[in-house]
Every structure is written in C-alpha cells, then in structure tokens.
Structure 1
C-alpha cells in the first residue's frame, strides 16, 4: 500500500510554503481523459510509463535487498528465531495495515482532493497511530498467551514504534502515489532496507538472535520515515477541518474494513501455524512464502501500485477501463507466471542450501507458488473495483475469504494437531492457502468482470494463456527430471540444472506463443542487430 522535489516545483523553493490550492490542484487526476489531440494524451502516457518503471524499481529494490538479508539471517539464526519474530510481526502489522488502508486509497482514488483533506487525514492518522501503539503494547501479553509463546511479549512491545512510524508516512506516500511519481519512493525504500539489513546482520553476528530481526525492522521503519519527510515538499497545517473529515470518512471506513479483512484473510495461515504448531513451523513457512511473495510483489503488485490512479482516471469510461485492465493483466502475467514456474522448479535445491533444518520448507514453497499464480490474476481486481467507487465489494469478499479461511485452516490445525512432522504441517497449510485463494479469486473475477465492469472474461484473461502455459511447462519438466532421479549430485548442481532447464523452456514457450511479447522483444532486438550488422 515521498517524494524528492516534484518536477513541477523548483528545487530551490522547497522551504517555501507553496500555495495549497495550486499544489492540490496539481495532484488531482482528470475525471475524464481528453481526446482533442495527441499531445494532450502524451503526458498521461509518459507519466504512466515512468510510474510503472519506478514502481517496479521500488518493489524490486525493496524485496531484492530484504530477500538477500532474510536468507543471510535465516542461515545464521534458524527457523525458531524467525518464527518468534514472525508471530510478533503479525500482531503489529494488523495495526500498521489499518493505518495504511484507512486513507491511502482514499486520497489516491478521490476525484476532488483539497488541502483540507490532506491536513485532516494526516492528523487523524497520527492520533490513531498513537492510540493504536498504546493499545498494542498493552495487548502484547494477550497475543503471546494466545499463541503459547511467552517470549513473544517483549518482542511485540519492542516492535510497536513501527505503528507510529507507519502513521507518519501514510499521507505523504499517498500523495506520491496519486501523482504517480514513484522514483523518490524507490530511492527511499532502497536506502531504508539497505541500512536496516546491515544493522540486522551486524546484530546477528553479535549474538542477538531474534532481536537482530527486531532491530532490522525498526531501523527500516525509522530511516524510511526520515528519508520520506526529507524529500517531500508537502507539510501539514495544524487543523482538523470538519467537512474534510466527513468527506474522507465514508470511503476510508470501507477501505479500512476491507483492508483488515484482506490482511487477516491472507495471513490466517500464519495465525493457525503460530497457534497450533509453534515458532519453528512459522519460521519454515515464512521462508517458504518469502520467494513466491517476492516474485508476485515484483512482477504483479508493482503494477498494482500504479493501477489505481490510472484506472481511476478512466472510471467514467468502462469500456476503456476494461481494455486498460486487460493490458495491465497481460503485463502482470508475462512477468509473473513464467518466473513462478521457474521458482517452483528450483524450490527444493534452493531451500536446501540454507541448511538441513530448512529443508521441510521446499515442498511448501512449491505449493505457495500456486498462491502466487492466483495472485497474479487477482492482484488488479481490487484496484479496478476501487477505481469505479465500489470498495464495498472488496470489503464483503475479503471478509468472506476470511470466514472460509478460518474454517479451512482450523480443520487443518485440528487434523495435524500433535504432529511433529514439520514438512507435513507446512505443506498442508500451503495447500489450504492455495485452495482458498483460488476459490475466492474466481468469485472475484466473476463479480468484477461480469457484474461490475460488464466486459468479456475471455477478453481480459485470454491474452494471459501463453504465459500460463510457459510457466507450467517451466515447472513440469524439471519436476519430472527430479521425480525420476535423472540428475544426481549436490544441491548446487541440481539448482543450476533445474534453473537453466526451467528458464529455457518457459522463456522459449513464451516467445513462441505470445505474439505481444515476441513483438516487443523483436522491436528491442532488431535495432541492436542492425547496429552490429552496420558496423560489420
């Protein structure tokens, strides 16, 4: 769910209190797109392309650095430390998510935004974050008792400052996302994660165990907030306009309620693991989940970040909105599905490199790639509904998903309760998560495409079929090679062979079957070949 100086603002005038009316009018995207001539369309197109590039850079930088740090710390600390901190983080992240969802999407989506809305939103979030920080600190012992993990109490309390740090960033970040200027967000995220990673590894080397992960999280949040306010040109005024609060409240309440439902629905698996199976299973599952989540974030959720303001611009033109959604989903599928197939192919040898205590996570990672595939298709559905002013559907579906998830995972927990087989525990939860995500996403597609946008489902999904075939084949062939023991030797050799095989098959099939992708590649390659032939 900050900015250097925006291109419309002179860098030398950053300290000047700009006229708020002019500033906010620059933030507001047009309700309809002009069709008078090409030059008037060129600016939105260039802005979208730039936003997509920097959104990918933002996500890739954040997840690239954190994933490297995560795997380094995993090898140093083991599953237990990861499980304890994961259980505590789940508790804190619920309140962080509430702050993020309350106003971020409201500010981005709102057709008419004024300075009063931003002032009111900022101070409401700050007040709320202070209250939630105190409540979270007081409730930490209850969370620890619920999960039968007394050591979680102090870690929860230590992580509560992250709630206030999150509150400080909500409105400035929403402004940047509304403007679709993602470059400063990418730089800020990269700086924060690099510094936090260095601190976490240093603390692990010093023997702080789980507290190394706590230090990492706090430093990332603190540095990110400082950098954000250093580079943003917006400053809040000391007031709480009543009308602005009223304007924001309706959409914000629905977004917040939906956000809570979404968060709990996608994290119910960890709740069950922590409650029934303990910190080691949580740690194994987090590693199994890490890379599929990373690929989905980089390839699909990066596009999600720019989709809401772009689709909201077309909210009064459903036909054009459907066409734009189809193109975005095709990009998401081409980037995400082959990559997830390749990851599933190399999951077991990759996890084995961390050490024998992590090997039970391999099967879970393969199954969680299915969740990643489902998310590639579902990640743009929520923004599409928000763009046309239907956040209530998101809210209802998220709580329905939570209800289904609670029942599914409770049954799994009861079925395996008392089992000491970590591999079976992680695999069962991963399989349950795949089933829940798939069923809810199919329902959400029907509602979004057929009932709300009234567009052809095949029109939206058809272009993604080649990417799906490529990703499936990229996994299936190495899987069969492994199944029949055609490659023997150390895990490093298997990782290399499976990775090369999966990449070649997935990439070759994608180029052979997807005409859009092939055309794009040829447009990039032909000028380079022409230059080389000209030199000869």
Structure 2
C-alpha cells in the first residue's frame, strides 16, 4: 500500500520540514492574531476560545487514539488503515451530533447565549476533519512532513484571508468562526490531494482489535493531555468571564507559539523517530537527549525574548489589551517548564508505555484543576488574570518535574544527562530576557521599533551563547551551509526502519 510504504524521507529531512511547518504556522498565525486582535478586541477572542475548547475536545476524541497507533505500529497492513479510517469517520459523526446537542448546555454553563450557535457551526467541520485523520497518520509514519507542511500553510492562509474579510465587514466573533471553518475545509481538500492513499470500504474485527489495544491507552493519555492543556480555558470561562479569557488566551497563544515553532517540530517527528530505535536502549537515550538539547536550545531563548519584549507587544495591541504584558511574562515561565518535558510524552509512547504517560498526565491535569479553582476562590476581579497565570505556572512546574522523574526511571536515562541537555537553552533564555528587557527600558522609541531593536540585540546575544554551549547548533548551521553548496549525499540520511507487510490471508466464517 502506498500510504504505508517504508519511509523515503530521512529523519533529518523530516525534521527540517516539520520545523518549516512550525515556522510557517507561527508566522501566519501570529500575524493574523495581532491584526484580528486589534480589530475585534478581547471579548471576541474569549468567545471563540471557549467554543474551540469544546470542538477541539470532540476532535481529540475521534482522532488521538488511532493516530499514534498507526504511526508507531511496527507492522501495518492495508486492512489496518481501512479499518481505522471507517472507525474514525464513524466516531466523528457521533461526536458531531453530541456537540450540536450539548452546545446549549455549554453556553449556559459559561453564561454566553451566543456560544451555542458558534459551537454548532464549528461542529460541522468535525466530520470533514475526521476523513483525513488516517491520511495524516500515514504521512507522519512515512515522515512525509513536506505534504503536511503544504497542507498547513495553504489552509492557514486561506482561513486568515476569510477571517480578515469577515472582520472588515464587521462580523465580530463570526469573523473568527469563518476563519476556522475555511481553514478546516481547505486543510481537508489539500490533504486528500497530496496524500496518495485512498480507503476501501471494509472493516476487519481482528485489525480493529489490534489497533484498539494500543489506541485505548494512547487515547487515555491524549484525553488527559488535552484536558491538562485546555483546562485553563475550560474553567476560566466559568470562573473569570470572557474578557479575562480573551486576555489570557492571547498571551497564552503568543507564548505557546514560541514553543510550537521551536519544539513542536521536533515533537512531531519524535514518536516515529524514537520508535525506530525502540529496541536499542543506548541509541534511544542518545537520540532523545540530542532532541532535547536542540528543542530547549531553541525554545528557551525565544521565550526569553518574548518575556523581555512583552511591554512593546501590549502597546502595539492597544489599550483594550491592558494587562497582556504581565500575562506574557508570567506565561513564558509556564511554557519553559512545558518545553523541557515536551518530548517525554512521545518518548514514553515510542517505548510502548502509553499507560505510564496517561497516569502522569491525568495527575497533572488534576493539579491544574485544583490550582485554577483555588485561584478563582482566593483572587478578586482586579488580580484575576495574574492569579490565573500564577496558578498555571505552579501546576505546570509540578507536572513537568513529575514527568521528568518518571521518564528518567522508565526510559533509564540519567536525570543529570537531561539537566545537562537543557543547560545551553536555559543560559540562553536568561540572557535573552535580561538583554531584551534592558534594551526596552533604555530605548525610547515607538513600540514597533523598540520591539525590533530589542529582539535583534537579544537574539544576537542568545545566539552567541548557544553557539558556544550547544554543539548541535553549530552542527546544524554547518549542515545548512553544506547543503547550500551541494546536494545531500545518501550518507546524510538516517532512515527510520518501518516494517510493512502485505495483508495476511484470513479465513472468514
């Protein structure tokens, strides 16, 4: 089957395209977020955030169990893929009906009547996106991130244009709804176009059972991860109201984008990349540590730059967004803790321990719920945003420490080796926040120029530190120079072995 052939792309090439996906996503998303935020204000962002957390929950239920099962499975047949496709599509239809029926309840819980209509419109995209879950899983399995990058760029640009047109026409929150709907539709069309695999109408019980044994454990951890990652928006709408949600969500989106562009690209290839050496403990640990050094060396300095330049960012957004700078500074701390443990989830899955990951994630999610409820109870309206951010920092920090310790024991990777892997990024991040913040205080210019100057100076300082402390950065730069001079040789590739077998002949009753 074409969709599950052995990967033609190397891990190095796939990682490059994965980072290209993240960089393009960051550039497009951040540009659109700034423009739409200035045009629509925090309330519209709060409403769409509360609707999306509901829709994203539904989408997670119908895809996250089977996707990692397809990606990490050593032996995958056509029958497995066909069975998974129809299972995911069926679950998508059921989830859509559930979303439409329960939309009014969720709107009543949040005290926002307009939320019900927003959820119902967004829910109509779920059956569409469910038809490409297996396509995406097969592309990830083959490390074909070029096609996924094309899908992401094209869909984000199309959705962004639709959102901007809607904002210009004065549609308010419906401009953001239009953006999401168009993005989903275009993503589905592009993925069907770039993926060569086509499902056949057949469902096999044996194949379903084989996928189910892994997917149930993976779905449990994915559910816990989703709740842990969205519980802030899930509860802040009820506890703090849409304006605080809008302010928090924009700050959270900016800081999480810094992690997305620097670390999510590596996370996307971590599961197939580590699964390829799951039988070699030494190679597994070496690859994991190298991935961690690269991701933290990129993520932590960028978070430092963002924290130092938070003041000019708030000025650019306008007076409606007062308090965003403080939220950005606080949430960069939270995202730093998230970045250091980001690859450990895929590592546990590749080590065939999704159950362990599930337990840790659910415990962390429970901590976040307790922290948020405590913040809402202890804080008044004036400091609600700060209390919310501090609560998330504490819960995320505890969760990150727990998963690091557990992963160190389960994967048999020394804790000191992990700490040393994070060191270059941590030093670069501290230098970036100090230098960038200092330049902002010294330079008295319009906010945009302050942002540019502080960002350039802070980037240079952080870059010099990383060059001195992180050999992977020097190696990457050297590889890029070499590729500009010549075409890559076959020896540059590091293919990940994946066994693909033709379908076994089974007797049927």
Please give the TM-score of this superposition, normalised by the length of structure 2. 0.91
How far is 1:281 from its partner? 0.9
1:507 matches 2:463 = yes
The aligned residue for residue 494 of structure 1 is 450
- For residues 142-175 of structure 1, the C-alpha deviation after alignment (integer angstroms, 9 at most, x for no partner) is 1011111111111111110122122111100000
Structure 1: distance between partners of 2:132 and 2:417: 38
- Write the distance in 2 (CA, Å) between the matches of 1:525 and 1:480: 33
Matches within 5 A, 1:92-107: 92-107=55-70
Q: How many angstroms does 1:289 deviate by? A: 1.1
In the other structure, the counterpart of 1:200 is 163
- Show the counterpart of 1:455: 413
2:62·2:95 contact (CA, 8 Å) conserved in 1?
no
For residue 353 of structure 1, give the secondary structure of its aligned residue in structure 2: helix
Mapping 1:405-484, distance limit 5 Å: 405-417=368-380, 419=381, 421=382, 424-449=383-408, 451-479=409-437
Q: CA deviation at 1:359?
A: 2.7
User: Residue 40 of structure 2 contacts residue 173 of structure 2 at CA under 8 Å; is this kept in 1?
Assistant: yes
Asked if residue 26 in structure 1 is aligned to residue 2 in structure 2, the reply is no
Alignment of 1:173-322 (within 5 A): 173-322=136-285
Q: 1:164 aligns with which of 127, 135, 139?
A: 127
With over 3 angstroms needed to count, the CA separation of the structure-2 counterparts of 1:478 and 1:68, relative to structure 1, is: closer
Question: Match for residue 103 of structure 2?
Answer: 140
User: Which residue of structure 1 aligns with residue 43 of structure 2?
Assistant: 80
* Deviation by residue 1:27-46 (Cα, 9 ceiling, x = unmatched): 4x7xxxxxxxxxxxxx7xx6
Secondary structure of the residue aligned to 2:64 is: helix
State the Cα RMSD in Å: 2.0
CA shift, 1:524, in A, is 6.1
- Tell me the number of residue pairs that the alignment of Structure 1 and Structure 2 aligns: 485
1:319-338 correspondence runs (5 A): 319-338=282-301
Counterpart Cα distance in 2 of 1:269 and 1:304: 22
Q: Which has the higher contact order (CA 8 A, sep 6+)?
A: 2
Structure 2 residue runs without a partner (length 5+)? 486-509
Do 1:24 and 1:113's aligned partners in 2 also have CA atoms closer than 8 Å?
no
The unaligned stretches of length 5 or more in structure 1 are 1-19, 30-42, 530-536
Q: Are residues 235 and 357 of structure 1, via their aligned partners in 2, closer, same or farther at CA, if it must alter by over 3 Å?
A: same
Q: Deviations over 1:475-498 (max 9, x none)?
A: 02443566xx54444323432343
Contact 2:82 2:200 (8 Å CA) reproduced = yes
Match of 1:361 among 310, 324, 330: 324
State the Cα distance separating 1:277 from its structure 2 match: 1.5
Deviation at 1:466, TM superposition (A): 1.8
Cα distance, 1:461 vs structure 2: 3.1
- Asked if 2 retains the 8 angstrom alpha-carbon contact of 1:348 and 1:359, the reply is no
When structure 1 is superposed on structure 2, of 473-482 and 297-306 the one drifting more is: 473-482
Deviation at 1:346, TM superposition (A): 0.6
Per mean C-alpha deviation after superposition, the further-off stretch among 508-517 and 154-163 is 508-517
* Contact 1:24 1:114 (8 Å CA) reproduced: no
Paired residues of 1:258 and 1:392 also in contact (CA < 8 A):
yes
Q: Distance in 2 between matches of 1:303 and 1:322?
A: 15
Residue 128 of structure 1: which of 66, 71, 91 is its match?
A: 91
Distance in 1 between residues matched to 2:348 and 2:303, nearest whole Å: 26
**TM-score, with structure 1 as normaliser:** 0.87
Counterparts of 1:398 and 1:524, CA distance in 2: 37
For the 8 Å contact 1:99–1:166, the answer to whether it is kept is no
Whether contact under 8 Å (1:351, 1:362) holds in the other structure is yes
- Once the two structures are TM-superposed, the CA of residue 378 in structure 1 deviates from its matched residue by 1.0
Decide whether the 8 Å contact of 1:272 with 1:413 is kept in 2. no
